[in-house]
Amino acid sequence: MAVSEHDVPESAAVTAAAAQPETPGADPAAVGAWLAAELGDPAWRDATLTPIGAGRSNLTYRVVSPAGAVVLRRPPVGTVAATAHDMGREQRVMSALAGTPVPVPAVLAASAGGPPVDAPCFVMELVDGVVPLHELPPGWATTEAERARIGAALVDVLAELHAVAPDAVGLGDFGRPDGFMARQVRRWMKQWEQARPVLTADDVDDATAAELSALAADLEASVPAAQRAAIVHGDYRIDNCLFAADDPGRIAAVLDWELSTLGDPLADLGLLLVYWRQQHEDPAWAAAQYLPSPTRLAGFPTRAEVAAAYAARSGLDLTPLPWYVAFGAFKLAVVLVGILARVRAGMVPAAMAAGLDGSAGPLVALGRHVLTEGLR
């Protein structure tokens, strides 16, 4: 079974389209020539590229040639925050995690700039499997027991990631865990301030803007003390994982490492819960879930069950978890207004803003709800 196409952000594998579409930021001839040299096989010169996903994050292409198929990753076209789209960091953490219990695609080649795309990029193996999106593929994970195993696998792999000793895999200098969450609040507040001047009232109204700034201030004033330093993914979610087609309870690869660093592991859990949907929702949660998710189906664990399973695996105290969930809602709101800002500034196609108007307000409200009421 081939992996399904991704929405936000992109996955690392997808069934190729029959016709060769446009490939902004990647010329097939240049990519083919570079791969022929890097991988030592002239058959790569006859390469075609197929975009994977909506292109709202790093650009991902499936590269197919007589020599085989691989996946190419490069930053978005246009001016973006370099730290959010660092190809060197992404391929470094994936290479470091090879051989650990965390499943990642093998990195095959990398460029710091220049050929083949006039920007940093890397190529990784194509891993077959399923990326669960809005709906589960027909015939896959059809029972509640299988869906429960999907949820368990997500928790297990996240706990395995946070258990990897950074020094043991050459990532001891991959970030600055001391003061990580305080810096994260400041970083995303800065991103919000940079985006705000080009946004319209339809994007973010004045009331939402004020609430977003107030939420950031409250988060900054109440940062919990980290219990552990760990490798954090930065955007861990069900559709950033590729599951085995023949075993819904096994993750074949964790994808999209562009925000990874050393930091507080509860930041990953908090954001995972922001994305998570369940069958019976509080209105504050339901309003903020603008992307459908298969986790609403019977058999998937609830957010409380996900948190409890993670606590059992990691040994961490989840008393401060509401703060991390509120931060995750704040961060996601800023990510979405950042996409809108890039569209309004003419840096990326208008299609990238589809469905995002007004998306920040419910997320900000969720952040406030969780910070004051807890995970209800």
What angle, 0 to 180 degrees and rounded to 10, lies between the N-to-C axes of helices 321-344 and 206-220? 140
Determine the pLDDT at residue 67. 97
Domain boundary among 125, 154, 172: 125
Do 106 and 186 share a domain, yes or no? no
Q: How far apart are the first and last CA of the chain?
A: 37
Close Cβ partners of 180 (under 8 Å, ≥ 6 residues apart): 226, 229, 261, 262, 263, 264, 267
* pLDDT bracket for residue 342 (50, 70, 90): confident
Do 262 and 340 share a domain, yes or no? yes
CATH of the domain at 78: 3.30.200.20
Closest of 167, 74, 128 to residue 137, by C-alpha: 128
Q: Is residue 6 part of a domain?
A: no
Residue 373 has pLDDT above 70, yes or no: yes
Q: Are residues 271 and 40 in contact, defined by beta-carbon separation less than 8 angstroms? A: no
Q: What is the largest CA-CA distance in the chain?
A: 61
Query: pLDDT for 1-60, tens place per residue?
Result: 233 333 333 333 333 333 344 677 899 999 999 999 999 999 999 999 999 875 556 889
**Residue 37 domain boundaries:** 28-125
Average pLDDT of the chain is 90
Domain boundary among 92, 125, 158: 125
Do 157 and 255 share a domain, yes or no? yes
Q: Is residue 12 part of a domain?
A: no
CATH of the domain at 364: 3.90.1200.10
Do 115 and 198 share a domain, yes or no? no
Query: pLDDT for 285-326, tens place per residue?
Result: 999 987 778 999 999 999 999 999 999 999 999 999 999 999
What does DSSP say about strands 241-244 and 48-52: parallel, antiparallel, or unpaired? unpaired
Do 112 and 174 share a domain, yes or no? no
Q: What is the pTM of this model?
A: 0.90
Do 211 and 238 share a domain, yes or no? yes
Residue 29 CB coordination number (10 Å): 11
Among 68-82, 165-179, 236-250, the range scoring the smallest mean pLDDT is 68-82
Determine the pLDDT at residue 56. 57
Residue 12 CB coordination number (10 Å): 29
Q: Please give the full DSSP string across 246-296, using - where no structure is assigned.
A: TEEEEEEEE---TT-EEE-THHHHHHHHHH---SS--HHHHHH--S--GGG
Among 46-55, 99-108, 195-204, 215-224, the range scoring the smallest mean pLDDT is 46-55
Do 121 and 149 share a domain, yes or no? no
Q: Is residue 317 part of a domain?
A: yes
Q: Is residue 228 part of a domain?
A: yes
Do 79 and 150 share a domain, yes or no? no
Do 335 and 367 share a domain, yes or no? yes
Domain boundary among 93, 125, 157: 125
For the chain, how many structural domains are there in total?
A: 2
Do 42 and 117 share a domain, yes or no? yes
Q: How far is 224 from 149, CA to CA, in rounded Å?
A: 31
